[in-house]
Amino acid sequence: MDLVTIDDISDAAARIDGLVLRTPLIDNQRLSGEFGTRVLLKAENLQHSGSFKVRGALNALLSWQERGELPEGVVSFSAGNHAAAIAYAGKRLGVRVIVAMPSKPVPSKVANVERFGGEIVPTDDLAATLAELAEEHGYPILHPFDQPEVIAGQGTAGLELCADGPSPDLVLVPVGGGGLLSGVAAAVRKLAPAARVIGVEPATSNAMGQSLAAGEVVRIPNPSATVADGLTAPFAGQYTLPHVQAYVDEVVEVDEDAIHSAWRELIEASKLLVEPASAVCLAALRSGVVRAPEGGVTVLVISGGNADLSRLAGLG
């Protein structure tokens, strides 16, 4: 299998230029003082549709358009962020979007999808419903993570963080299915080869960690509940797993208590509205699962900001 390269990511960056935000890389003095390393936050929560996912969605659709293959519609599955991203991209390009989502989704994520005109099909079996939608409508699947064009699009966040700040010593990336981790790692491995790239996933939803241990794709049809709902991928992908094997130094797990505490602390320290999935990287540092390089540069990729506002009241 050919892996996504820095050239693929550079092409994606040119393709989506002007359609996505070049999100800021923000110095955080509070966290830097705490960990003894310069902490920078790649704030993808500020992105169109509220997460990094719009990068991959747009790159995939625009790649199809370049080949004269832009479809009338696409189908997919998502906990919410990918759904909003392809709805946003589809609205820009005139493509109908139908997405299978969990039957009990985060309300703010549903609203985000509907705001951009995406059609939601609630389900308790994402994979089966996706197959049914593809057969019913005859539309291609725009996968939330396991597609080379999606991986290359997500990698543009890594391209930016390397270009916009000092060379990182450590890059921490949230991981569900692995699209963001695969793309960012591919960029960082080329542009900052000495940096360590570590993926962080919830202990209760660890398809990538299980797949790495097994050396093959492991499917978890019903991942256990986690406050980091954006990281509940039911499997690591046939494309993402080889990328993580090739480009990523380690994938670690954090428990629910660590994520919950880090979510509150990240909001307090950054003054950014982030969702719990974005807090797993801070949780890894706080719990000691990952040690920051003393005197070095550590980048935390803030994956999204589509938080369930009703949960914020419980963070006190």
Residue 211 annotated to the active site: no
Task: For residue 104, give the 3-state DSSP assignment.
Answer: coil
Query: Which of the residues 76, 78, 278, 303 is marked catalytic?
Result: 303
Among residues 42, 53, 109, 190, the one annotated as catalytic is: 53
Q: Determine the Cα–Cα distance for residues 314 and 309; give it in Å rounded to an integer.
A: 10
53 catalytic residue (yes or no)? yes
How would you classify the pairing of strands 38-43 and 297-302?
Answer: parallel
Q: Which residues contact 69 (CB under 8 A, 6 or more apart)?
A: none
CA end-to-end span of the chain: 48
Name the nearest CA neighbour of 303 among 216, 202, 214.
Answer: 202
Q: Which residue has the tokens 């985000």?
A: 112
For 258-284, letters b (16+ CB in 10 Å) and e give bbbbbbebbbebbebebbbbbbbbbbb
Residue 90 is encoded by which pair of tokens?
Answer: 């589809």
Place of tokens 């820095």: 6
Write out the catalytic residue numbers: 53, 303
